[in-house]
Structure 1
């Protein structure tokens, strides 16, 4: 069937698309490397015309124009599902941007049942001969958005990778209201997170926990990158990938022959992910690659789905861990950092899997803006710190001083094990804290 007539009838300019937004509207602007570029610029030009426009998106790696022109949120209010760098800055500045707490696996359901969207702008690949636009790097929750939106606009980017999907990875022209041709806009790249000696030491402990044939989920950051680099140069083999986010480390592992998915108990031979962000090399690797399979996040992050995958190893970063075994990965006190993402999803699912392990990794210390060395292992979190993984759900915690399994451990056993992961300079003080908190025994090592 020839869809060219229908395509031309729905084709409008970015300026015309931005004009569809009215004061008081709720607008979807995109996710990660697929945040709108063309319509965003035109919408920003209308800042003085509009009031109380609530914009939804997340993981913006470059500041959207609507954030730049209205940092105080007098006209546009940015609502983020997970804060990228520019969003973090805006959220902590106040007024112009806010975080929406979530379990990432539930995001499609949030859109379908909890969030009203008036206008949705979603970046896609060009239409194929069957009339479908592919969501490229962001299958995640895009179809849920477009099912709910009153007005659906696709921003066609000729440079957006075509990513084969399991389901909900395309939208047909019949379900699109307007089409904007954005030209060939390079997807925003995620700067590589470097890693140092501490990250490498943590990675060594983690890699020792990974068997041949394991399926991996990696979070974002220096430590997961260090783990990926170590795996790529290791003797591990027959690994699989099932992750919310597809990162450069997976490309490195795959190109060095470590990943083939042959031992996966579901989706065999496929690298499964909800969205991808990273380098140009990563985007080129995913483009039209049938080995890689994009899927909705309520599939990739479902604890029930993850539980079906034997030897599932989940590796994620944290900001702080307290002596109870609680994990904080979203904020330090009232200072917002990122978001919950899928950390709890994978902590739950990995432990349920046969041979599965959920590993939370962090350095034992960090240096603050005053140049002081601060422990990441804390007696209690600062007021306002979000608890991302509650203490019943935590499995393994790893620092450069070792790895500790908190499952089945009482409060005093947890305190002892976690203090052993802290930097030696802070252990005596942490023991005093544990005594004051009533979670230390005289028989404990001092």
Structure 2
């Protein structure tokens, strides 16, 4: 028996035994995304009657965290999250999940100044050299492990072995306890079929992607639509530098569009910090040397993003106001997701040679009563969080066109954004712009068009 196997045997614990080391008042960090510790979470929830004021931090938990479900009053377990999943959103709506604001690329550095008593993380089985791979969830995890007083790893054989990069795994010498999970399949986020609106927006963005462009795609139907169009196009030699790797990247690679031949940073590699998708994606990542997993302070650092020629960053938004401010994480006081890496890539891509960043949204949505409302607003709803400030926003795209806001004055921004709003709301938006003092007097009908999108001069 090797020394690693001996250490493994000595550190093995039953889940309920491992969580006994968590005490009242502790800060407990969970593994991120699909590598959340589901077995340890369930075991910790069983101690709800014994503990008080245990603060849990997760990131995009797959489903509903057991600790939060076990204590709806949030007095024994206070559940916090860096970026909401659908389950986290439901818990937040019930008053049982609290958001932790951060810029994703800064996340690892936060653990130089915040406490972590116990880190619980799902990992791939130990290799012959004593390493546990973080699989599809590199992210901030190594920084948490270094800060935590105790590290508990939960073995799940379903987790793919993802090559680095760096910070993609942890050695058994850095681990305090090991538990076996029930090896359930990883949380899957299957690709959604893009809507007609998604496809129209994607078509506008495709006009700005060229051979050799380096691509970042956010989550959702519209980025998937771009990926689908790229896969079906004749583009070639695309690179990848992205925070999230999704199924659409597999489709683009298998179609021969991605070679990373001209990627200046991480050349020859699809660089990413986490992956969420279907089993097809996880199978693609497993021991694939073309993919490189890095901690997020490396992949999302704006100065690193900006080193790639023709960087194209594509992200969704909830609302945009007439000043050009972007909210992508809340609707009023209702928190929806998080800042994530949207700021990182919007800023970084613009500073790349030939780079562009796109904020995308459908022009309308429906409220809870089924009434159509504009997602381009005069001002943000009270409580809405600004994800990307107006000074950073580059391109904004709806199904009615795309506009570049860089270098535009307030009246030019108002004109540009109203030109890509839904036609039913343009007159109302013009009136609001006049009320706010960001509208020029003159013949508005000659200045507002349905673009592709070039505005007439005033």
TM superposition score normalised by structure 1: 0.98
Q: Which residue of 2 aligns with 1:411?
A: 410
SS at match of 1:428: helix
SS at match of 2:52: coil
The count of corresponding residues between Structure 1 and Structure 2 is 444
Structure 2 residue 268 is matched with structure 1 residue 269:
yes
2:179 and 2:442 mapped to 1: Cα distance?
69
Q: In the TM superposition, what are the counterparts of 1:12-91 in structure 2 within 5 Å?
A: 12-91=13-92
Pairwise CA distance, 1:193: 3.2
In the TM superposition, what whole-angstrom CA distance separates every residue of 1:359-383 from its partner, at most 9, and x where no partner exists? 0000000012201000000000011
Pairwise CA distance, 1:316: 0.1
Q: Which residue of 1 aligns with 2:161?
A: 162
Pairwise CA distance, 1:388: 0.4
1:185 and 1:215 mapped to 2: Cα distance?
35
Q: Which residue of 1 aligns with 2:358?
A: 359
Structure 2 residue 305 is matched with structure 1 residue 306:
yes
Q: Which residue of 1 aligns with 2:103?
A: 103
Q: In the TM superposition, what are the counterparts of 1:360-399 in structure 2 within 5 Å?
A: 360-399=359-398
RMSD over aligned CA atoms reads: 1.1
SS at match of 1:293: strand
In the TM superposition, what whole-angstrom CA distance separates every residue of 1:170-207 from its partner, at most 9, and x where no partner exists? 11111111111214221111243332101100000011
In the TM superposition, what whole-angstrom CA distance separates every residue of 1:303-324 from its partner, at most 9, and x where no partner exists? 0001100000000000000000
Checking the alignment, whether the CA contact within 8 Å between 2:64 and 2:91 is kept in structure 1 is no
SS at match of 1:284: helix
Checking the alignment, whether the CA contact within 8 Å between 2:240 and 2:269 is kept in structure 1 is yes
Q: Which residue of 2 aligns with 1:292?
A: 291
Structure 2 residue 188 is matched with structure 1 residue 189:
yes
Q: In the TM superposition, what are the counterparts of 1:199-348 in structure 2 within 5 Å?
A: 199-348=198-347
Checking the alignment, whether the CA contact within 8 Å between 1:245 and 1:275 is kept in structure 2 is yes
In structure 2, stretches of 5+ residues that fail to align are 446-458
The structure-2 alpha-carbon separation of the partners of 1:10 and 1:427, relative to structure 1 and needing over 3 Å to count, comes to same
2:113 and 2:364 mapped to 1: Cα distance?
39
Checking the alignment, whether the CA contact within 8 Å between 1:364 and 1:421 is kept in structure 2 is yes
Pairwise CA distance, 1:30: 1.7
Checking the alignment, whether the CA contact within 8 Å between 1:139 and 1:165 is kept in structure 2 is no
SS at match of 1:55: strand
Q: Which residue of 2 aligns with 1:349?
A: 348
Checking the alignment, whether the CA contact within 8 Å between 1:214 and 1:239 is kept in structure 2 is yes
In the TM superposition, what whole-angstrom CA distance separates every residue of 1:111-169 from its partner, at most 9, and x where no partner exists? 2x232111111111111111111111111111000000001111111111000011111
SS at match of 2:49: helix
1:253 and 1:46 mapped to 2: Cα distance?
46
In the TM superposition, what whole-angstrom CA distance separates every residue of 1:410-445 from its partner, at most 9, and x where no partner exists? 111110000001000000000001111111112463
Checking the alignment, whether the CA contact within 8 Å between 1:160 and 1:185 is kept in structure 2 is no
1:330 and 1:74 mapped to 2: Cα distance?
26
Ranges of 4+ aligned residues in structure 1 off by more than 3 Å: 191-194
2:442 and 2:102 mapped to 1: Cα distance?
41
Q: Which residue of 2 aligns with 1:425?
A: 424
1:443 and 1:292 mapped to 2: Cα distance?
55
SS at match of 1:397: strand
SS at match of 1:43: helix
Checking the alignment, whether the CA contact within 8 Å between 1:63 and 1:86 is kept in structure 2 is yes
